[in-house]
Amino acid sequence: MSKKVRIGIIGVGTIGSVHANNYANVPNAEVVALCDILPDRLAEKAKLHNVAKTYTDFNDLLADPKIDAVSVCVPNHMHAPIAIAALKAGKHVMLEKPMTLSAKLGKQILDARDKSGKLLQMGMVWRQRSSAQLVKEVIDNGRLGNIYQIRVKLIRRRGIPGLGGWFTTKAMSGGGGLIDIAVHFLDLVMWLSGKWNPTKVSAKTYSKFGSPIKDYHYVSMWAGPPKPNGTFDVDDYAVGMVRFGSETTLSFEVAWACNAQDESYVELLGDKGGIKLDVDSDPILRTEIDNRIADVTLQYDKKENGFTIELQKFCDAIQGKGKIPATGEQGVVAMKLLDAIYKSSELDKEVDIK
């Protein structure tokens, strides 16, 4: 392998450009090819990111022997077929979240990885942020003691992305706010706590704001503008409780849209301390020091970019200088949890996570 990992990016929409921009900050990476099914967008992004080689068919990119690894940044329904094809073609794979549409498909990706001998990294960028790394260190040092309750709250007052497009079309996305944004925080708290054994879930999802599309009022829209004649058949709100055996519970509330104030945080409660990681402020450790109640605000480097760190670790692992920080096995656990949440809502009862 050359001194730099030669990267192909498949899908150059918004998140594909995020990958391209951040690979530019990784010394041992070089983006050598882009692929997209939209020729005009492909040409625009190739010029923007100064990449000479372009493809409109991902199979042609995968056939290029000069490409070592790929970032898969396409709609969710294409994650599994492209990741599996890439692994079969001998490419390492950086796979954006969510892993795929179901745990069953996730296991097929793992099978392809195992047969290929190549690396698969999940795009769980929240883990790589400096604030999350700091909280993980605090927890691993025993500051919380035994963690018995976890809270996840991720509320957007109006935050449905690409309304009417693939984000809000279940056949392409697999779901709405739950599979799109909740997966970040559900993965984050399992990683922080080390609890990868969700056993039961009782949950409910709702769809209240996205249809009819013409009646949805918003300030801004990721991956917009809306498509008035498009589809909205997914969830925009989800709430529930997850059991991790008999030792730990997790309560969550997630919304793409609802009539409530924006909030984004995770909180882990232990018998020695509790810690809250908020999107917009420093983590706070609530504990006791010298027999007195104490709140400790934790400082960290706010200049670091989670995507750059994530892609740096991917390239380092390919070159044997580190390990994959978010594994395919963990991706499958997250998919099992999401599958069970949707099933619980559909059946209106608690379900086992298998």
What residues have CB less than 8 Å from 65, skipping those under 6 apart? none
Domains of the chain and CATH, by start: 5-126+306-325 (3.40.50.720), 129-304+334-352 (3.30.360.10)
Say what the pLDDT of residue 280 is: 83
pLDDT tens-digit profile of 211-269? 999 999 999 999 999 999 999 999 999 999 999 999 999 999 999 999 999 999 999 99
Q: Omega before 75 cis (within 30°)?
A: no
What residues have CB less than 8 Å from 247, skipping those under 6 apart? 146, 148
Phi and psi angles of residue 142, each rounded to the nearest 5 degrees, phi first = 85, 15
Distance of CA 257 to CAs 167, 254, 326, 349, Å? 14, 9, 29, 24
pLDDT tens-digit profile of 6-48? 999 999 999 999 999 999 999 999 999 999 999 999 999 999 9
**Treating both helix axes as pointing N-terminal to C-terminal, what angle do 328-347 and 103-116 enclose, rounded to 10 degrees?**
170
Mean pLDDT of 56-80: 98
pLDDT tens-digit profile of 264-286? 999 999 999 999 999 889 999 99
Q: Report the 10 Å Cβ neighbour count for 228.
A: 11
Say what the pLDDT of residue 1 is: 56
**Treating both helix axes as pointing N-terminal to C-terminal, what angle do 39-48 and 14-23 enclose, rounded to 10 degrees?**
20
Say what the pLDDT of residue 50 is: 97
pLDDT tens-digit profile of 292-305? 999 999 999 888 89
pLDDT at residue 2 above 80? no
pLDDT tens-digit profile of 85-114? 999 999 999 999 999 999 999 999 999 999
* Residue, of 10 and 354, whose pLDDT is higher: 10
Mean pLDDT of 316-337: 98
- Whole-model pTM? 0.96
Percent of all residues in the chain with a pLDDT value above 90, rounded to a whole number? 96
